[in-house]
């Protein structure tokens, strides 16, 4: 591009063709940015609760200058809104994506990273400021971020509609990227899918989906394992909503309900669920088609995505985002042994597991023991199993830098400002506090870029020594098997499968006690479903 044409492009904005029409973006700090590009038609009217279909083609050049509409979602409670940003952009055309690229136009063949946001499959969007893709494009990566249907719209389970429409949205977006990204300077053969929490869980399902084979070269799962949700828990959410709405639990009936009323009802019913306490919720379910079997088992068996490089990890204190903001942390501490019994019920484990945690961490309070116990069961141990099944092309990390805000520690979602190198914006400081170390952001962000480029983030691949890169205070370092003692407890428990013996009362009583505390807190609006 000559100096004259480059200057003209700066004035008019870059124009790129897509399968459905041309789009015009804008240059921001030397990076071409395209926002709100539709990859599927609006999922409303006759398309509500149905699989996505292609958007209507357009003539001329469509402006892609602002974030597109966000999918319907309830707001966070006040306690969580202080920590997590979740912008709302009104409109129906919510199945859209954004692209940041340093070199728009065919021929560049740059590595591509596709971001799937978290939010418990009920909240979040690609418009969250922390997810700005400028730093990735600055460092030679084409960054794509995606909106997908959430909550009952995306993961409600109905007898008259296909399951998992939100996951089908993600697959449609991934196919769009594979077909279209070369025009934006990306290489469709070097796509890295990365996401956090619900986004990581979604990636696990996509890696195992027959329809997604060959679309992804690498994947990053941050604080979310491959899993399939209990269908009965999703049905209970839908049935409870139907009872409150006084309509049948069908897609046809729900489609006739006012959208805002549906969101309020979903939020109300969803207050009885959380990662630590369990309960009904929305999640990806086995559907016999897109999700033919449990994704973790499919990936561990090696039947799918055999050649996909994996970067897997977690934060040291995931549970603190779930327990601290609403005050549940202190309540669990006071419940003591009853809370431990509830955690055993949640994890379906025997008494030797919590006893082992007590022995390994004698100074830990009950809330910390419960939080780490549940986190390991739901998140860390499954990722550990996945790495064990795929040594050589798996890398693991732990994020251990503590937030500058009181009691949050190295909580769930704290690493995101470091991965995106957006720690200097106010939205990142909501969770990290002021003064987050730029050196740590430089190191983490560079590791994610390196992984997208060649599959090597900069430390040893997984082997029998179980190397884990620790991103904490001071220089990052590799620790061998830092959580092996805890994982050995889970492996032994899985092997024996002895009935759980409560420390006090019964596991059922413990679960009831914990949920009773949570309900009291949620009546005040302090403990919503986590991110």
Which sequence positions are flagged as catalytic? 197, 318, 412
Give the residue among 97, 260, 118 at the shortest CA–CA distance from 184. 97
Tell me if residue 192 falls in helix, strand or coil. strand
Cα–Cα distance measured from residue 235 to residue 250, given in angstroms and rounded to the nearest whole number: 11
* Residue of 193, 219, 192 lying closest to 390 (CA atoms): 219
Burial class of residue 245, CB neighbours in 10 A (0-12, 13-18, 19+): middle
Q: How far is it, in rounded angstroms, from Cα 361 to Cα 421?
A: 33
Contact predicate 529/271, CB 8 Å? yes
Closest CA to 156 of 37, 25, 255: 255
Q: How far is CA 19 from the centre of its chain?
A: 28
Under 8 Å between Cβ of 500 and 344: yes
DSSP 326: T
What are the CA-CA distances from residue 341 to residues 267, 274, 318, 374 (Å)?
Answer: 28, 17, 20, 12
Torsion of CA 363, 365, 366, 371, to 10 degrees: -100
Q: Contacts for 203-207 with beta carbons within 8 Å, 24 or more apart? A: 203/116, 204/295, 204/296, 204/299, 205/164, 205/167, 205/284, 205/290, 205/291, 205/295, 206/167, 206/170, 206/171, 206/174, 207/295, 207/299, 207/304, 207/305, 207/308
């Amino acid at each position: 591009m000559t100096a004259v044409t480059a200057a003209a492009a700066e004035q008019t904005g870059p124009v790129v063709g897509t399968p459905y029409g041309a789009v015009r973006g804008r240059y921001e700090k030397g990076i071409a940015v395209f926002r709100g590009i539709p990859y599927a038609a609006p999922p409303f009217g006759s398309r509500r609760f149905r699989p996505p279909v292609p958007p209507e083609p357009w003539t001329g050049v469509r402006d892609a200058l602002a974030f597109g509409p966000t999918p319907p979602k309830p707001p966070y409670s006040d306690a969580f809104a202080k920590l997590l940003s979740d912008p709302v952009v009104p409109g129906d055309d919510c199945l859209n994506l954004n692209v940041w690229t340093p070199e728009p136009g065919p021929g560049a063949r740059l590595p591509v990273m596709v971001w799937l946001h978290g939010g418990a499959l009920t909240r979040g969007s690609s418009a969250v400021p922390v997810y700005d893709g400028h730093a990735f494009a600055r460092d030679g990566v084409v960054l794509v971020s995606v909106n997908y249907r959430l909550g009952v719209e995306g993961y409600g389970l109905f007898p008259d509609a296909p399951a998992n429409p939100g996951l089908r949205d993600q697959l449609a977006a991934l196919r769009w990227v594979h077909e279209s990204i070369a025009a934006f300077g990306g290489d469709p053969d070097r796509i890295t899918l990365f996401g956090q929490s619900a986004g990581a869980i979604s990636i696990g399902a996509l890696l195992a989906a027959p329809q997604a084979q060959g679309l992804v070269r690498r994947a990053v799962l941050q604080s979310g394992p491959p899993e399939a949700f209990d269908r009965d828990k999703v049905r209970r959410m839908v049935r409870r909503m139907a009872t409150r709405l006084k309509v049948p639990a069908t897609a046809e009936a729900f489609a006739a309900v006012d959208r805002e009323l549906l969101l309020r009802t979903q939020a109300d019913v969803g207050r009885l669920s959380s990662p630590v306490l369990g309960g009904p919720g929305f999640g990806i379910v086995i559907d016999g088609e897109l999700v033919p079997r449990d994704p973790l088992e499919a990936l561990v068996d090696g039947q799918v995505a055999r050649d996909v490089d994996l970067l897997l990890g977690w934060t040291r204190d995931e549970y603190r985002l779930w327990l601290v903001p609403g005050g549940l942390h202190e309540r669990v501490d006071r419940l003591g042994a009853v809370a431990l019994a509830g955690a055993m019920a949640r994890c379906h484990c025997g008494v030797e597991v919590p006893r082992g945690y007590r022995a390994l961490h004698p100074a830990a309070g009950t809330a910390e023991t419960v939080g780490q116990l549940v986190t390991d069961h739901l998140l860390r141990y499954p990722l550990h199993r996945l790495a064990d099944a795929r040594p050589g092309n798996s890398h693991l990390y732990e994020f251990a830098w503590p937030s500058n805000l009181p009691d949050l520690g190295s909580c769930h979602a704290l690493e995101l400002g470091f991965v995106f190198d957006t720690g200097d914006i106010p939205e990142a400081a909501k969770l990290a506090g002021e003064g987050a170390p730029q050196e740590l952001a430089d190191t983490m962000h560079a590791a994610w870029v390196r992984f997208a480029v060649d599959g090597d983030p900069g430390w040893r691949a997984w082997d029998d020594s179980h190397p884990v890169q620790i991103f904490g205070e001071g220089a990052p370092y590799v620790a061998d098997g830092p959580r092996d003692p805890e994982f050995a407890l889970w492996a032994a428990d899985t092997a024996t499968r002895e009935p759980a013996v409560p420390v006090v009362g019964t596991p059922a009583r413990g679960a009831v006690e914990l949920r009773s505390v949570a309900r009291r807190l949620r009546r005040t609006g302090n403990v919503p479903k986590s991110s």
